[in-house]
Amino acid sequence: MPYLFTSESVSEGHPDKVADQISDALIDNFLAYDSSSKVACETLVTTGQVVLAGEVKSEAYLDVQDIAREVIRKIGYTKSEYMFEGNSCGILSAIHEQSPDINQGVDRQNPEDQGAGDQGMMFGYATKETENYMPLALDLAHKLLIELAAIRRENTDIQYLRPDAKSQVTIEYSDDNVPVRIDSIVISTQHDDFDEDTKMLEKINNDIINILIPRVKAQLKPSLQALFNDQITYHINPTGKFVIGGPHGDTGLTGRKIIVDTYGGKGAHGGGAFSGKDPSKVDRSAAYATRHIAKNLVAAGVCDEVLVQVSYAIGVAKPCGIFVNTFGTSKVNLKDGDIAKKIGEIFDLRPYAIEQRLKLRNPIYSETAAYGHMGRENKVVTKVFNTGKKNEKAVEVELFTWEKLDYVDKIKAAFNL
């Protein structure tokens, strides 16, 4: 029987994402100046106020207020009427040194024996339904908001947009799990005040459908463009006015959008957030590692869809276990448990090995903090920290290394494909 599946995304101006971006900017700055930094940093944002809290072990000294303000301005909170503005908001830092009790479980005399920064289970997922091996509903939800932010910054076609926004896409699937059509699209976008509410709603509705949607469709291959049709139900700012938004409308906290960050509800999630954590925290690094495994398995032809789980005990290097679910799509004559065993032979899942394989001790995390950590473009960029200051530093880094298809040949060889 055909069924519907829905995923959502939130913009970089959503209060929770503002918090994530500040936390990850702090991570990047610590790692840029001391790659061995251990950081767990949480951020709270509300009307005119930012609170930074967490634990740090690092040789680097940072002006955390300046870093936070730069992030807020870059997102677009630059006007006093937003009631949250980069230059004027108050910033309180309660960051202190990491507990030695935790650190003794992570650092080892032999780096390869580095223990996991916490217990828990992490999941990676991949599917053939999109070119980037991501669930389609989430991929479209992200694309809608990325393009909406681009339109906001252009400030030509639509001139009333403010930074906060959310999207949601519902897709109808056939009995054999193939996307058939888009059933509904929800877009809620913060906007400047209008003189008349009725004209405001009509204009926003028309602009989203006639400007945003065609720009997103143009980025897609023909088979996905065909999913858009005249029967789509649109919910554009369904509550009416959305002038009050961002941290003034809702308090934001680091780590509250973990499903948006991963697979939009497809597969599974271990519960641990990513942003604000250095890669010794397996909540983050092992989630990237399992995505890397899942994507390479599907790309190699082992299966069409797969969920990979790994679990750890705090302070212990070797994983407690590896689990695989191919959802009946396996192309090899092996049970899922046997596939999991082979994964343990191909991929070293000790925390230090993950850090080295995916180059996670580099300042690569700000780019992950909005529009998803998975399914993004792997590329090399140069990032500059503290521009124009005495300690200005340029660092060349490789982003989204867990999206590389660099293990396909090894997997094919291991599975005789």
Contact call for residues 388 and 328 (beta carbons, < 8 A): no
Put the strands of the sheet holding 38-46 in their side by side order: 90-97, 49-57, 38-46, 252-253
On whether 281 is known to bind a ligand per the annotation, the reply is yes
Residue 60 lies in a domain: yes
Which residues, in sequence order, are CB contacts of 414 under 8 Å at separation 6+?
Answer: 342, 345, 346
Ranges of residues in the chain whose predicted pLDDT is under 50: none
CA neighbor of 366 nearest in space, from 13, 25, 10, 17: 25
CA neighbor of 328 nearest in space, from 310, 296, 303: 303
Residues 19 and 70 in one domain: yes
Instruction: Give the Cα separation of 194 and 276 in Å (integer).
Output: 37
On whether 112 is known to bind a ligand per the annotation, the reply is no
Residues 158 and 81 in one domain: no
Number of Cβ within a 10 Å radius of residue 44? 18
Side-chain-side CA neighbours of 354 within 13 Å: the count stands at 29
Residue 253 lies in a domain: no
Instruction: Give the Cα separation of 350 and 18 in Å (integer).
Output: 32
Angle formed at CA 164 by CA 160 and CA 165, multiple of 5 degrees: 90
Contact call for residues 308 and 287 (beta carbons, < 8 A): no
Residues 405 and 305 in one domain: yes
On whether 16 is known to bind a ligand per the annotation, the reply is yes
End-to-end CA distance of the chain: 33
On whether 248 is known to bind a ligand per the annotation, the reply is no
The pLDDT assigned to 107 comes to 60
Q: Quote the number of domains for the chain.
A: 3
Residue type, 415: F
The domain containing residue 163 runs over which residues?
3-11+135-245
The pLDDT assigned to 102 comes to 54
Residue 255 lies in a domain: no
On whether 55 is known to bind a ligand per the annotation, the reply is yes
Residues 338 and 371 in one domain: yes
Residue 47 lies in a domain: yes
On whether 256 is known to bind a ligand per the annotation, the reply is yes
The pLDDT assigned to 105 comes to 53
On whether 118 is known to bind a ligand per the annotation, the reply is no
**Tokens read off for 300:** 């190699």
The pLDDT assigned to 208 comes to 98
The pLDDT assigned to 113 comes to 66
Query: Which element (helix H / strand E) includes 170?
Result: strand 161-173
Instruction: Give the Cα separation of 290 and 309 in Å (integer).
Output: 7
The pLDDT assigned to 195 comes to 84
Contact call for residues 185 and 167 (beta carbons, < 8 A): yes
The pLDDT assigned to 112 comes to 72
On whether 114 is known to bind a ligand per the annotation, the reply is no
Residue 271 lies in a domain: no
On whether 166 is known to bind a ligand per the annotation, the reply is yes
Residues 288 and 408 in one domain: yes
On whether 274 is known to bind a ligand per the annotation, the reply is no
Residues 194 and 240 in one domain: yes
Residue 267 lies in a domain: no
Residues 124 and 143 in one domain: no
- Of 199, 221, 245, the position where a domain reaches its end is 245
The pLDDT assigned to 196 comes to 83
64-75 and 15-33 helices cross at what angle (nearest 10)?
A: 130
On whether 369 is known to bind a ligand per the annotation, the reply is no
Residues 226 and 309 in one domain: no
On whether 98 is known to bind a ligand per the annotation, the reply is yes
Q: How far lies 138's CA from each of 25, 172, 295, 405, in Å?
A: 24, 13, 16, 21
The pLDDT assigned to 352 comes to 95
On whether 269 is known to bind a ligand per the annotation, the reply is no
The pLDDT assigned to 104 comes to 54
Side-chain-side CA neighbours of 270 within 13 Å: the count stands at 27
47: DSSP letter: T
Q: What is the pTM of this model?
A: 0.96
282-300 and 336-346 helices cross at what angle (nearest 10)?
A: 110
Residue 257 lies in a domain: no
The pLDDT assigned to 217 comes to 97
Instruction: Give the Cα separation of 152 and 13 in Å (integer).
Output: 11
The pLDDT assigned to 108 comes to 55
On whether 250 is known to bind a ligand per the annotation, the reply is yes
The pLDDT assigned to 1 comes to 80
Which residues, in sequence order, are CB contacts of 339 under 8 Å at separation 6+?
Answer: 297, 302, 303, 324, 326, 330, 332
The pLDDT assigned to 116 comes to 84
Spell out a b/e string for 153-180, using b for 16 or more CB atoms within 10 Å of the CB, else e.
Answer: eeeeebebbbbbbbbbbbbbbeeeeebe
The pLDDT assigned to 12 comes to 98
Residues 285 and 239 in one domain: no
